[in-house]
């Protein structure tokens, strides 16, 4: 074996970036400052634990006595989720097509993209607060809020799916003398159909979760019941609601798997 | 039938790919266009049905200048020109039958197409076409489940479904093995003969071109440098078309 000579000085195999190192230092300093200024430390955590133990103690056993209210809230959440997903998907279909840069001119894609971005900019709860102010308490406000959120999410996914299609297949359909709508029906839709179904199932699942939350600001669904129970310190009832929501989400998960299985390829 | 006059195409201004092509196509024979890669063969073929916009020149097809057409008139002209592609360009997720009926989209409204309400006559024609190309029983198979040769036969059937007055083929055999290539060329020759229409084919395989074409057009540098029968394709002519000579031996 040869002796291991040191690497000559002119070879610099690994280059350190001073800027990146400075960045790490700044990040660590900032975190330390933020923790100290927010009273985020072990002593505070231990004080909190004591309170947490009492809270958990009062949650057991879960109290299903007011099950009628619980079922009513859950049903409403479920209905809101499905209506909002349906509306969101229906509105997103044309928006996704208009926002696809491979099929539409820039003057069309930009305004449509702005609409979709605007729908995605705010958390559903913030949109729900605005909707409650606009149309009053209840499920309508929640449905509008969830629909807006769905457009923001599904519209973007639809547009991206259309932008990823094979243009060779489009070219062949165009070559037969097909009109633009015919190209969409026989060239675009077959290529994106199955992805769209997947996105729609995913969005329904997301809306199921979000629909349990918008009720906190008065936009209908189980969230309102949950928030009221918290404020009355009915922690055993809170636990019952939380268990029910988990059950609902699990049902949604199974439903999504089933849809994917049925429409697979 | 088809008259191309002084066709020029520039993708980048000042850098023409086609530098003034003039051709007349008549009859019901196969015309093969040969030439090195990047010399504009595909561009020429795509200019004829305006999948590519020509920069200058005329393309007179059935008495009308295709270059000047737009909207429904252009779509009507396109529906009269069948096209076969190198990579078949079938709509992968549609069935074989649906791919054949794609050839009838030029005269079908989007709503009818969406509802799959095609004319009974067209569906019967598609069924017969499958028999002719030996794909009986594949009507409901998805296009992406077929082999290359089968796909190209579907591609040709789709073009024939248009009842075209002219058939274009852009390197229809370049993705296929030698045996399948010959079968596909035989099928194209049969279409030319039975439908009595001219077929223009871009190809790289000179021997295959010699064997099936009645007329060969040699392109180089955006010009037509040879236009004549296969017999006239001497080594000297091939040298003019492709340049160099070591590949000839």
Interface touch B91/A178, C-beta < 8 Å: no
Look at residues A29, A228, A208 and name the one whose alpha carbon lies nearest to residue A124.
A208
Please tell me the distance in Å from A264's CA to the nearest CA on chain B: 12
Report the residue from A171, A176, A193 with minimal CB separation from B105: A176
The number of beta carbons lying within 10 Å of the beta carbon of residue B10 is 15
Question: What pLDDT was estimated at residue A234?
Answer: 86
Q: Are the beta carbons of A85 and A259 closer than 8 angstroms?
A: no
Question: What pLDDT was estimated at residue A89?
Answer: 96
Question: Scanning the structure block, which residue is given the tokens 């099936």?
Answer: B212
CA B15 remoteness from chain centre: 25
Q: Tell whether A93 lies on the interface with B, counting CB pairs under 8 A.
A: no
Determine the residue of chain A that is closest to B84 in CA distance. Answer: A172
Please tell me the distance in Å from B27's CA to the nearest CA on chain A: 22
Q: pLDDT band for position A139 (50/70/90)?
A: confident
Alpha helical stretches, state H, A123-212: 124-135, 139-163, 167-175, 180-183, 189-211
Interface touch B91/A191, C-beta < 8 Å: yes
Task: Identify the residue among A177, A193, A195, A196 best suited for mutation to test binding to B, counting B beta carbons within 10 A and taking the highest.
Answer: A177
Average pLDDT over residues B71-98: 95
Look at residues B166, B103, B106, B93 and name the one whose alpha carbon lies nearest to residue B130.
B103
Which range of A47-51, B93-97, B234-238 scores highest in mean pLDDT? It is B93-97
Q: pLDDT band for position B249 (50/70/90)?
A: low
Q: Is B17 exposed, middle or buried (0-12, 13-18, 19+ CB in 10 A)?
A: buried
Domain spans, chain A = 18-53, 67-262
Average pLDDT over residues A208-231: 88
Question: Scanning the structure block, which residue is given the tokens 């030439």?
Answer: B35
Can you give the length of chain B in residues? Answer: 249
Q: Are the beta carbons of B66 and B25 closer than 8 angstroms?
A: no
Report which secondary-structure segment, H or E, holds B224: strand B223-228
Question: What pLDDT was estimated at residue B198?
Answer: 96
Q: Tell whether B75 lies on the interface with A, counting CB pairs under 8 A.
A: yes
Q: Are the beta carbons of A186 and B105 closer than 8 angstroms?
A: yes
Please tell me the distance in Å from B20's CA to the nearest CA on chain A: 24
Instruction: Please tell me the distance from the alpha carbon of residue A243 to that of residue A45, in angstroms, as a whole number.
Output: 26
Among positive and negative, which fits the CA dihedral A35, A41, A44, A45?
A: positive
Q: Tell whether A168 lies on the interface with B, counting CB pairs under 8 A.
A: yes
Bridge pairing between strands B223-228 and B56-61: unpaired
Q: What is the pLDDT of residues B5-29, one digit of tens each?
A: 999 999 999 899 999 999 999 889 9
Assess whether pLDDT exceeds 90 at residue B194: yes
Question: What pLDDT was estimated at residue A51?
Answer: 84
Average pLDDT over residues A87-99: 96
Look at residues A93, A150, A104 and name the one whose alpha carbon lies nearest to residue A127.
A150
Assess whether pLDDT exceeds 60 at residue A265: no
Q: Tell whether A261 lies on the interface with B, counting CB pairs under 8 A.
A: no
| A179 chain-B contacts, CB cut-off 8 A | 72, 75, 105, 110
- For B16, which DSSP code? E
Domain hosting B25: range is: 2-248
Give the three-class secondary structure for B179: helix
Task: Identify the residue among A94, A167, A178, A183 best suited for mutation to test binding to B, counting B beta carbons within 10 A and taking the highest.
Answer: A178
Q: Are the beta carbons of A84 and A207 closer than 8 angstroms?
A: yes
Q: pLDDT band for position A262 (50/70/90)?
A: confident
Q: What is the pLDDT of residues B54-76, one digit of tens each?
A: 999 999 999 999 999 999 999 99
Q: pLDDT band for position A164 (50/70/90)?
A: very high
Task: Identify the residue among A169, A180, A263 best suited for mutation to test binding to B, counting B beta carbons within 10 A and taking the highest.
Answer: A169
Task: Identify the residue among B89, B101, B200 best suited for mutation to test binding to A, counting A beta carbons within 10 A and taking the highest.
Answer: B89
CATH code, domain with B68 = 3.40.50.300
Q: What is the pLDDT of residues B199-217, one digit of tens each?
A: 999 999 999 999 999 999 9
Instruction: Please tell me the distance from the alpha carbon of residue A144 to that of residue A151, in angstroms, as a whole number.
Output: 11
Q: How many CA atoms lie within 13 A of A121 on its CB side?
A: 7
Interface touch B81/A178, C-beta < 8 Å: no
Determine the residue of chain B that is closest to A169 in CA distance. Answer: B89
- Neighbouring residues of A65: CB distance < 8 A, sequence distance ≥ 6: A237
Assess whether pLDDT exceeds 90 at residue B225: yes
| A196 chain-B contacts, CB cut-off 8 A | none
Determine the residue of chain B that is closest to A180 in CA distance. Answer: B110
Phi then psi for residue B6, to 5 deg, are 50, 45
ipTM, two decimals, is 0.92
Q: Are the beta carbons of B168 and B82 closer than 8 angstroms?
A: yes
Among positive and negative, which fits the CA dihedral A122, A126, A128, A129?
A: negative
Assess whether pLDDT exceeds 80 at residue B248: no
Bridge pairing between strands B215-220 and B30-34: parallel
Report which secondary-structure segment, H or E, holds B84: strand B81-84
The number of beta carbons lying within 10 Å of the beta carbon of residue B120 is 8
Q: Is A10 exposed, middle or buried (0-12, 13-18, 19+ CB in 10 A)?
A: exposed
Q: What is the pLDDT of residues B92-111, one digit of tens each?
A: 999 999 999 999 999 999 99
CATH class of A67-262: mainly alpha
Give the three-class secondary structure for A195: helix
Structural domain count of chain B: 1
Q: Are the beta carbons of B86 and A184 closer than 8 angstroms?
A: no
Question: What pLDDT was estimated at residue A62?
Answer: 83
- Kindly report the pTM of this predicted structure: 0.83
Angle at which helices A106-121 and A139-163 cross, to 10°: 140
């Amino acid at each position: 074996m040869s002796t291991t000579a040191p690497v000559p000085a002119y070879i610099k195999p690994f280059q350190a970036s001073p800027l990146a190192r400075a960045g790490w230092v700044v990040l660590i300093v900032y975190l330390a400052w933020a923790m100290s200024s927010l009273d985020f430390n072990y002593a505070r955590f231990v004080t909190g634990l004591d309170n947490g133990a009492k809270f958990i103690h009062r949650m057991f056993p879960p109290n299903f006595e007011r099950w009628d209210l619980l079922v009513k809230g859950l049903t409403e959440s479920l209905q809101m989720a499905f209506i909002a997903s349906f509306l969101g998907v229906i509105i997103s279909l044309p928006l996704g097509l208009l926002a696809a840069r491979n099929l539409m001119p820039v003057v069309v894609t930009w305004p449509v993209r702005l609409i979709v971005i605007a729908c995605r900019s705010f958390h559903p709860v913030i949109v729900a607060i605005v909707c409650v102010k606009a149309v009053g308490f209840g499920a309508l406000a929640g449905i509008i809020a969830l629909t807006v959120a769905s457009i923001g999410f599904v519209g973007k996914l639809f547009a991206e799916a259309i932008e990823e299609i094979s243009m060779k297949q489009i070219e062949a359909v165009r070559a037969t003398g097909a009109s633009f709508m015919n190209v969409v029906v026989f060239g675009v839709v077959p290529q994106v159909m199955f992805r769209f179904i997947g996105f729609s199932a995913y969005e329904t699942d997301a809306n199921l979760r979000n629909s349990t939350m918008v009720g906190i600001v008065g936009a209908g669904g189980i969230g309102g019941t949950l928030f009221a129970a918290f404020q009355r310190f009915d922690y055993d009832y809170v636990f019952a609601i939380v268990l029910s929501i988990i059950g609902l989400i699990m049902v949604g998960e199974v439903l999504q798997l089933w849809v994917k299985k049925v429409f697979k390829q | 039938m088809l008259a191309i006059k002084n066709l020029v195409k520039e993708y980048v201004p000042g850098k023409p790919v086609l530098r003034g092509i003039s051709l007349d196509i008549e009859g019901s024979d196969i015309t093969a266009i040969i030439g090195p890669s990047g010399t504009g063969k595909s561009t020429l073929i795509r200019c004829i049905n305006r999948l590519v916009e020509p920069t200058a020149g005329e393309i007179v097809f059935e008495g009308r200048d295709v270059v000047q057409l737009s909207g429904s008139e252009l779509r009507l002209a396109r529906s009269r020109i069948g096209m076969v592609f190198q990579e078949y360009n079938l709509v992968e997720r549609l069935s074989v039958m649906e791919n054949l009926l794609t050839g009838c989209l030029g005269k079908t409204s989007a709503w009818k197409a969406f509802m799959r309400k095609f004319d009974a006559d067209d569906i019967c024609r598609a069924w017969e076409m499958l028999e002719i190309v030996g794909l009986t029983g594949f009507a409901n198979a998805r296009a992406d489940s077929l082999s290359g040769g089968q796909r190209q036969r579907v591609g040709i059937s789709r073009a024939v479904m248009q009842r075209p007055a002219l058939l274009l083929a852009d390197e229809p055999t370049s993705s296929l093995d030698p045996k399948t290539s010959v079968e596909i060329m035989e099928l194209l020759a049969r279409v030319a003969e039975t439908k009595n229409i001219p077929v223009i084919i871009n190809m790289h395989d000179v021997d295959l071109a010699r064997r099936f074409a009645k007329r060969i057009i040699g392109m180089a540098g955006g010009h037509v440098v040879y236009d004549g029968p296969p017999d006239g394709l001497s080594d000297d002519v091939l040298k003019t078309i492709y340049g160099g000579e070591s590949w000839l031996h």
